[in-house]
Amino acid sequence: MSLYTLQSIMIPLSAAKHNQVLSLLSSGLSSRDIKHQNGVSKSTVSEVAREYEPDKENHPGGHPQKLTPMDKRAKFVTVQNIRNVLKDDNIKTYPKKKRPYLSPKHRKARLTFALKCENWILEHWKCALWLDEIKINWFGSDGHKYVWKNKGGPLQEKDVESTVKFGGGHIMVWGCMEWNGVRIFCDVEGKMDANLYVSILEEYMLESIKELQIPEEKVIFQQDNGPKCTSKLASNWF
C-alpha cells in the first residue's frame, strides 16, 4: 500500500477578504460571526485582529464576575459566590487544629501568668516547682497507634493492638520536678480529690522542698487548674 503525506497548504487571505474582516472587526462583530459571514476560520480572524490592534490585551477567558465590589459587601449572595471571592483573595480552607478548650476565664489567667513572668530571670525559674499527676496503663495505651503496611496486605501480628478485659488496669502517679530534675514520686491510691491532694502535698511536696535547699517563701508552685488544685481546701493550704 502506498503512503501519501498530506500537507495542508495555507492559502493567503486576499486583500478584499482582509479588508472585509477589518471592517467587521471595527463594527464590533465577534470572531464567530465574522467566520460565518466570510467563511474564514476563527484563527484567521484572530490573526487579522492582532494586526489591527496589536496592543489590545487578550481576554483571560472564563465567565465574567457576577459580583461587583458593592455586591461583595452585600449580605444576600450564594455560597459559591462567597467561595469565589475568598479564592480570588488567595484564602484557602485548612482543617482546624484540636486544642483544649479555653474559656474567657482560662485566657485571662494565662495572660496574667505570662505578664507576671515576662521579666523573670534565671534565678526565678530555678525556684519553680512543677506539680502534676499522670495515669500509666499496665497494658496498652489510651491513644491511637499507627502501623505502616501495604494496602490489601495480609494481617500480621505487628498490625494488631492487643486488648484485655477492663483495659488491664493502671496506676496513678503524682510527682514534682524543678530546675535540677525530678523530685519525689508517689502512688495515688483511690480518686484524687482535694483531701488526697492536700495530704500528698504535706507528705511529699514539703520533703521535696527541703531537698531544694531554698527557703519555702521563695518557692514558686506551678500546678494545673484542676478542681482539686483550685479547691478551697488546697488554696487555704498554700
For residue range 1-45, list pLDDT tens digits in order: 433 333 334 456 777 777 777 777 777 777 778 777 777 787 787
Distance CA 35, CA 41 (A): 6
Backbone Cα Rg of the chain: 39
- Cell 498554700, residue? 238
The band of 101, judged by pLDDT with boundaries at 50, 70 and 90, is: confident
Q: With pLDDT > 90 as the criterion, what percentage of the chain qualifies?
A: 2
**Between 3.40.50.300, 3.40.50.970, 3.40.50.720, 3.30.420.10, what CATH number should domain 120-140+167-238 receive?**
3.30.420.10
CB 33 within 8 A of CB 45: no
pLDDT at 115: 92
197-233 pLDDT, tens digit per residue, is: 888 888 788 887 777 777 777 888 888 877 787 788 8
Please enumerate in sequence order all residues whose Cβ is within 8 A of that of 237, keeping only pairs 6 or more positions apart, or say none.
198, 201, 202
Asked if residue 144 has pLDDT above 70, the reply is yes
| pTM confidence score | 0.44
179 CB-contact burial (10 Å; exposed 0-12 / middle 13-18 / buried 19+) = middle
pLDDT at 4: 38
State the average pLDDT for the chain.
77
Q: Which residue has the higher pLDDT, 124 or 5?
A: 124
pLDDT at 8: 39
> Residue 3, SS3?
coil
